[in-house]
Amino acid sequence: MTISTPQRRALLTDAQLSRLAPSHPLRAAGTAHSPMIRAMAGDRPEHPPVWFMRQAGRSLPEYRAAREGTNMLEACLDPELAAEITVQPVRRHGVDAAIFFSDIVVPLKIAGVDVDIVPGRGPVMGSPYRELRDIESLPEIPDEAFDPIREAVGRAVDQLGSTPLIGFAGAPFTVAAYMAEGGSSRDHLGPRTMMHRDPEAWNALASWVARVSGQFLAAQVEAGASAVQLFDSWAGSLSERDYRAHVMHHSALALEAVEAYGVPRVHFGTGSSELLVAMKEAGGDVVGIDYRLDLDEATRRLGPETPVQGNIDPAMLDAGWEVLQKHTVDVLSKGRDAAAHIVNLGHGVPPSTDPTVLTRLVEFIHES
């Protein structure tokens, strides 16, 4: 079975599907025919498929109730809890895909790195990774260390049936930025200086992250994810010159880890309007567009054959229904220049979002 359209290179060929277990949802639960996976493969299904970045957690009261008393990284490594949180937004909003509840730093935790997620701050390292000797001490992760991830994915896809699960990982620059800084930062001067001051250390760090993010993606796909997204949330702080010279080959490596399976791969960055072409060259089948660039302009830059994902401005979610509706109509219209369009926000759901607005938005998009 092939679900490609003539103008797109074939995704999910028989040869690729045969690399997935017979019980994989793409083979056994029919997620290959879902509107989400069809759109990611370059098709235009009956209604535009929609999911929201950061739909799991954050704004949902049932998420806060489930998480109560559990540290974020502990929750990510508790298969039953992670599966429950993954499925919650599908139950509530009727979105066309679930995103796996986890975090971009979970593979670091699995590797034994001293990392925590501090409420209100995000990922924080025990100490930063800037010197080659520290980076060289980072371990290779045995595949079985990802078993809690496989178990959580397996439990989630059992509940999701024909609704696809999207797996994800952090792109090497974004994850390495936390490691080089020791935590969050505004302008990512630490990693951007490091790639020039000590390119050997930078390359060692970024290629270690590329390997563990690649393993994280592969574990999710093997356990049942029907698509993946690579999040390069901080790539927008880079010049195209630095992205091409110091970053893109590492992102390509992470994306290559699941290429043989043929599952659609979304490549997303924020503030990355000037990097879109380079990001597409790095790899992926769908390019995620943030809220700063209109989708028709993104398609002009990428070419009409590239499926695009995006890009409702998260700021509009709380601007009143009429404003949001008008903006959504505009996003849908500008998405028509591309071969296919997966509707999403232009970045994550803000924690303060009224969940009923998201449910209404899904209904509106499905009727469009």
Catalytic sites, residue numbers: 54, 58, 67, 103, 178
Please give the angle made by the CA atoms of 217, 221 and 227, to the nearest 5 degrees: 90
Q: What are the angstrom distances between the C-alpha of 277 and each of 244, 270, 272, 280, 318?
A: 11, 14, 10, 5, 32
Rg (CA), the chain: 19
Closest CB to ligand 1CP among 12 and 266? 266
Q: Coil, strand or helix: which one is 112?
A: coil
Closest CA to 316 of 308, 305, 327: 327
Which residue among 20, 39, 60, 99 contacts ligand 1CP (CB under 6 A)? 99
Can residue 291 be called a binding residue for ligand 1CP (CB under 6 A)? no
Amino acid at 259: E
Each residue 129-168 as x (binds ligand 1CP by CB under 6 A) or -, in order, gives: ---------------------------------------x
- Compute the CA torsion angle 87, 92, 93, 95 (nearest 10 deg): 20
The interface region with ligand 1CP, picked from 29-37, 102-110, 242-250, 334-342 by CB under 6 A, is 102-110
Q: What sign for the dihedral angle of Cα 50, 54, 58, 61?
A: positive
Q: Is the peptide bond before 311 cis (omega within 30 degrees of 0)?
A: yes
Closest CB to ligand 1CP among 198 and 274? 274
Structure tokens at 231: 């999040």
Closest CA to 52 of 307, 351, 368: 351
The interface region with ligand 1CP, picked from 29-37, 94-102, 199-207, 272-280 by CB under 6 A, is 94-102
Can residue 119 be called a binding residue for ligand 1CP (CB under 6 A)? yes
Amino acid at 206: A
Number of neighbours of residue 176 by Cβ within 10 angstroms:
29
The interface region with ligand 1CP, picked from 101-109, 142-150, 246-254, 321-329 by CB under 6 A, is 101-109
Closest CB to ligand 1CP among 102 and 309? 102
CB of 9 to ligand 1CP, least distance (A): 27
Distance of CA 24 to the CA centre of its chain: 20
Can residue 54 be called a binding residue for ligand 1CP (CB under 6 A)? yes
Can residue 72 be called a binding residue for ligand 1CP (CB under 6 A)? yes
Q: Coil, strand or helix: which one is 132?
A: helix
Q: What are the angstrom distances between the C-alpha of 13 and each of 122, 225, 286?
A: 39, 17, 17
Can residue 13 be called a binding residue for ligand 1CP (CB under 6 A)? no
Q: Which residue is nearest to ligand 1CP (CB)?
A: 122
Total residues interacting with ligand 1CP, rule: CB under 6 A:
21
Closest CA to 279 of 271, 295, 267: 267
Distance of CA 156 to the CA centre of its chain: 17
Number of neighbours of residue 189 by Cβ within 10 angstroms:
13
Can residue 292 be called a binding residue for ligand 1CP (CB under 6 A)? no
Which residue among 308, 348, 357, 361 contacts ligand 1CP (CB under 6 A)? 348
Q: Which residues within the stretch 167-186 sit at the binding site for ligand 1CP (CB under 6 A)?
A: 168, 174, 184
CB of 333 to ligand 1CP, least distance (A): 26
The interface region with ligand 1CP, picked from 42-50, 53-61, 135-143, 353-361 by CB under 6 A, is 53-61
Closest CB to ligand 1CP among 3 and 219? 219
How far apart CA 332 and CA 272 sit, in angstroms, is 21
Q: Which residues within the stretch 206-265 sit at the binding site for ligand 1CP (CB under 6 A)?
A: 231, 233
Can residue 58 be called a binding residue for ligand 1CP (CB under 6 A)? yes
CB of 33 to ligand 1CP, least distance (A): 24
Give the footprint of ligand 1CP on this chain (CB under 6 A).
Answer: 54-58, 72, 99, 101-104, 117, 119, 122-123, 168, 174, 184, 231, 233, 348
